Amino acid sequence: MSLNREDVKTLANLARLKLSDEELTIAEKELDNILAYVDRLSSVKTTDVEPLTVPAKSDGWREDVVFSCDEVTREFILSNFPVRRGDLLKTPGVFEHPKGGR
């Protein structure tokens, strides 16, 4: 499988990564090399083989109860906000084209 420049651009877009022209050129070449290596998987016979789903036996069940965090933890969470107003987190507008817009 081989990737062209447009494919890499689409992937970067999907992954929300703005890549420079130079980065796109490098990524195209390097991803091709890696894909050439991993392509050996396609020649492994996997008819009737189930995909591995659980890496280890575990018991993931627990009570579905709410537990809150203490005041210290809460303050650390708030202090990590990139932009904070009081206890509120400021973010860019989520709806870039509000109703009635374009």
Partner 1 sequence: MKRLNELTIAEAHRMFNRGDISSVDVTQACLDEIHSLDGSLHAFLDTYAEDALMSAKQADIRRERGDINGQLDGIPIALKDNLLHQGKTVTAGSKILSGYVSVTDATVVRKLKEQGVVILGRTNMDEFAMGSSTERSVYGPTRHPRDPDRVPGGSSGGSAVATAANFCLASLGSDTGGSIRQPASFCGVVGFKPTYGRVSRSGLIAMASSFDQIGPLTRSVEDAAIIFEAIQGQDPLDQTTSDHMLFHPAWRDDLNGVRIGLPRQAWEGGMSNGVRKTVSTAVEVMESAGATVVEINLPYTDEALAAYYILMSCEVSANLARFDGMRYGLRLEDLPLFETYAQTRAEGFGAEVKRRILLGTYALSQGYYDAYYLQAKKVQTLIRHAYETALRDVDVLLMPTTPTTAFKIGEKTVDPLAMYLEDIFTVGANVTGLPAVSVPCGFFEGLPVGMHLIGRPFGEAELLAFARVYEEKAL
The site string for partner 1 over 69-98 (x = CB under 8 A, - otherwise) reads x--xx--xx-xxxxx-----x-xxxx-x--
Please list the alpha-helical segments (H only) found in 4-99: 5-14, 21-38, 71-79
The site string for partner 1 over 1-20 (x = CB under 8 A, - otherwise) reads x-x---xx--xxxxxxxxx-
Question: Distance (Å, rounded) from C-alpha 71 to C-alpha 94?
Answer: 29
Query: To the nearest whole angstrom, how small is the minimum distance from the Cβ of residue 27 to partner 1?
Result: 6
Distances (CA, A) of 58 to 45, 53, 62: 29, 12, 12
Amino acid residing at 9: K
State yes or no: residue 66 binds partner 1 (CB under 8 A): no
Q: Which is nearer to partner 1, 66 or 94 (CB)?
A: 94
